[in-house]
Structure formats: C-alpha cells, structure tokens
Amino acid sequence: MNQTPTEHLHLALRQQRAAFEREPMPTLAVRRDRLRRVHAMTLRHADALADAIAADFGHRARQETLLAEVFTVRAGARHAIAHVGRWMKARRVATQLHFLPGRNRLLPQPLGVAGIVAPWNYPYYLSMAPAIAALAAGNRVMIKPSELTPATSQLLATMVAADFAADEMQVVTGDAEVGRAFVELPFDHLFFTGSTAVGRLVAQAAARNLTPVTLELGGKSPAIVDTSCDLPRTAERLAFGKLLNAGQTCVAPDYILAPKPLVEPLVEQLVAAMRRLYPRLTGNPDYTAIVSARHHARLQALLDDARAKGARLIATHDETPADRRFVPHLLTGVDDTMAVMRDEIFGPILPIVGCNGVDDALARVRSRERPLALYWFGRDARTQQRVLEQTYAGGVTVNDCIWHLGQENQPFGGIGASGHGAYHGVWGFNTFSKHKPVFVQSALAGTALLRPPYGRVFDRLLNVLGRMSG
C-alpha cells in the first residue's frame, strides 16, 4: 500500500526519534564520523552540484557554486570537526559561596530530531550548513529543500542517502504542500531559511507543537556610504556584493544611502565596476540567471513600478539577454511609494538614496524593520562607531559586503523581522543543544540548616545569606 507524503514524513520522524532514543548522546567519534562524511560527499559531488544548480537556475556561474556552496560547506564541516570535542564537554560553572562545597556544571545535550527547511537561492549550502551544526550537536536530521530547485534537491537526496542511514539524516523532496506538512511535524527543533512572510507561517505552524524555531529571514539590507570612503574601491565591492548570484542573496545590499553630492559619482563608479566584472551579459558564464520566469517577471515589475512613479533607471549594459539573465539596474530618485523601496529585491536592482548627512542616513535605517545585514563604507573611525552603535542588524561588514556571513567564529542570524536565533561554529552547536544545568550536592551541605522545623537558626542564617547576596 502506497504511503501519502504526510504518512511518509511521520514515519521518517518516528524512525529518527527511535534511533535517537537508542543513542541519545553520540560519542565524539560518532559525531566526527558524520561530519567527515558531509565533507567527503561535498568534495566528491562538487561537479555534480555545480551542474544541478546551473540546470535549476537556467545558468549559474560554476565558480559561484564552488565558492558559495561547496567551499563554505567544507569549511564549516572542517571547523566543526576540529572543535566539536571542546564544544560537547561538560564545563564547570562557578558556585555561589553559600552553596559550597556543592558544585555546578553545564552539560550540552542533543535535542533529538532537527528539521531543516532550505531555500532555493543557495540550495546546498543552506541545507548543509545548519545540518552540520545539528550533527555536531548529536542530533538526527531531516531536510526539506526547495521545490524551485528540483535537480539540486534530487541530487541532495541521492547524496545523503548514499552516505547516511535514513535514521541519521535524510532529505524529503516535494512541493509546497509537502513543505507545509514538514513544518507541522513535532520536531525537537525547526530551522527555517527563507522569506519573512513565509517565516511567519512557519513560526505559527511550529508553535502548535511548541517546537523551538530558528528563523533565518531577509529584509532590506542597507549599505551606508560615507564621505570619507574610497569611492572606486567602495563601488567595486558593492558591485560584487550585489551581483553575486545575480543579487539572489539574503545578505545582498538592497539599497544604498549616500550623501547627495556622492550619488552621481557613485552611479558612474558602480556602472564601470559592474561592467568590469561582467563585460557582457549574453552568454557570459560568470553571470548567473534569475531562478525562474516568475522571479524574472517580478523584477521587471519592480522596475516598471519605479519608472512609472518617477525614478530614474540606469541600465549597466546595453543588452537584452534572451535567457533569464537580468540586466543590472541602478535607480535614483526613489521614494517609499515604490515597491522597490518596500519589498526585498532579491535581484540585480540597486536603488541609491541621497541623504543629508549621517543623521539622515541613520534615521532612514531606523525607520525600517531591522535588516539581516548592514554595510558601511568609510575611513572615519568615529562615524563608523556611531553607525555600529545606533543601528540594529543581524550582522555587519565594514568596507565590504557579505563576508561576515563566512565567519565560523561569529554567529550568523537575524534580528526582529529578519529572523531570530543564530548558527555557524559553536553558535550553531548551541542552537541545536540543550545546555542542561547540573548542581551536585555535597554530603556536607549547609542547606540542611534551611529545613523545617523553622526557628531562630533559620532566621539568623537567612539574614546572613541576605547580607551576602546583597
């Protein structure tokens, strides 16, 4: 008798939970073995991953896949292999004087079965990076990749099935209906990467099971350009950060805030920088296509809306590619009535807003939902510190774009509407662990004096303890 997708999901979860119950605290050797298998399969299938992702996108630069998907997963796995032995150790915690000679320790434990929902824009990395954290913490893992990248999703399922038992880690493919059923499962932790709108629905579904959730969302990430910046270098780095994966990156700069006198010089520098990176678009193997016709049409609608409402559009290339490669556009004269300034762009469109100084730029950033990333370009240390202290963002790169995302020794995650929770390195291990506090009482415990029957000794002791704690 054939199973329905929902029945298959529940069976898979029961199998993984039963396996976890048999091995609730995997040894260091077991965890490192699982992480090494992730590293090995990533290296072994690098070419196949590049081909599958390119097929799903219509075209994706091979080098972008090798850098942003293959290298990043390998680096994360290597980091976890090197450090998980230290992460998983119970550690001593200070004990207050009045509880001595008892002692405290903190014991990291796996949560159980982790569910991971991955998006289409970096389909391998955003599946495996949280999986690495979950495996390092000793959990079992179920992954639901995006239906918008079917070739990559099927390859991922085949890769994982070849290197992992189904009750260790498995991939569940399917459409949006399968995705909805997936997030309704009673996981021990659910990790979702995607849009803010869908993230709200995921959080609601998880709440019905009281499942803790990590949400890695998006938002409009600003780049603030200061008068003290090196303008050509700033333009080069903004151009790379915006056009990597054709702007289909959750931490891509979504709009620029620049002093009004710098707007036109910055436009000129950005056009020149984008043309140097991509001398042509048609047939250029380095320039990635938009993932689907629907998303391509969505980007065109953003331009049409902005033009109709008075924005100036600057196309960086005089081409009309026949495929889904989208011509990068810079926009000036934008305002908040335009969809391009309200919605996350997720493509190679970059509005530039002229500001009346730093105060104006900071006020504009603070008037919006808190973004996943913020970028600042300049050489004035006092202004830099002011921007860092007076804005909120999931993470910041100074004088460049995106690279804070690659730091394994720093947490990566959002704030407010851009998400909550964090991962990478030990931060990911902690996300998928329960740090259980343990107090070990001594045979000589003075707390016996606090038991009934109460009397003068209790009163005096409590008075002494009150003074000590004050």
Average pLDDT taken over every residue of the chain: 96
Are 114 and 189 spatial neighbours (Cβ–Cβ below 8 Å)?
Answer: yes
* Residues 19-46, mean pLDDT to the nearest whole number: 98
* Residues 67-93, mean pLDDT to the nearest whole number: 98
Please report, for residues 102, 145, 383, 391, 434, the alpha-carbon distance to residue 118 in angstroms, rounded to integers and kept in the order given.
45, 5, 37, 28, 23
Residue 8, Ramachandran bin (φ over 0: left; ψ between -120 and 50: alpha; else beta): alpha
Percent pLDDT > 90 in the chain is: 91
Phi, psi (rounded to 5 degrees) for 321: -60, 140
Q: What is the pLDDT of residue 205?
A: 96
* Residues 245-262, mean pLDDT to the nearest whole number: 98
Q: Is the pLDDT of residue 84 over 90?
A: yes
Which of the following is catalytic: 216, 236, 344, 408?
216
Q: Which of 181-190, 196-205, 396-405, 458-467 has the lowest mean pLDDT?
A: 458-467
Q: Which of 214-228, 348-362, 391-405, 444-458 has the lowest mean pLDDT?
A: 444-458
Q: Is the pLDDT of residue 330 over 90?
A: yes
Query: Read out DSSP for 37-106?
Result: HHHHHHHHTHHHHHHHHHHHHS---HHHHIIIIIIHHHHHHHHHHHHHHHHTS-EEE---GGGTT-EEEE
Q: What is the pLDDT of residue 461?
A: 86
Summarize pLDDT for 100-156 with one digit per residue, the tens.
999 999 999 999 999 999 999 999 999 999 999 999 999 999 999 999 999 999 999
Q: Is the pLDDT of residue 34 over 90?
A: yes
Q: Which of 245-249, 266-270, 438-442, 446-450 has the lowest mean pLDDT?
A: 446-450
Q: Is the pLDDT of residue 1 over 60?
A: no
Delimiting residues of CATH 3.40.605.10 domain(s) in the chain: 5-217+420-434
Which of the following is catalytic: 229, 250, 355, 401?
250
Residue 250: active-site member? yes
The pTM of this model reads 0.95
Delimiting residues of CATH 3.40.309.10 domain(s) in the chain: 222-413
> According to the CATH classification, is domain 222-413 in 3.40.309.10?
yes
Q: Is the pLDDT of residue 369 over 70?
A: yes
* Residues 261-288, mean pLDDT to the nearest whole number: 98
Please report, for residues 116, 126, 156, 366, 442, the alpha-carbon distance to residue 38 in angstroms, rounded to integers and kept in the order given.
15, 14, 11, 40, 44
Residue 224 bridge partners (DSSP): 257, 376
Q: Specify the CATH class of 5-217+420-434 in words.
A: alpha beta
Summarize pLDDT for 399-453 with one digit per residue, the tens.
999 999 999 999 999 999 999 999 999 999 999 999 999 999 999 888 888 889 9
Q: What is the pLDDT of residue 470?
A: 58
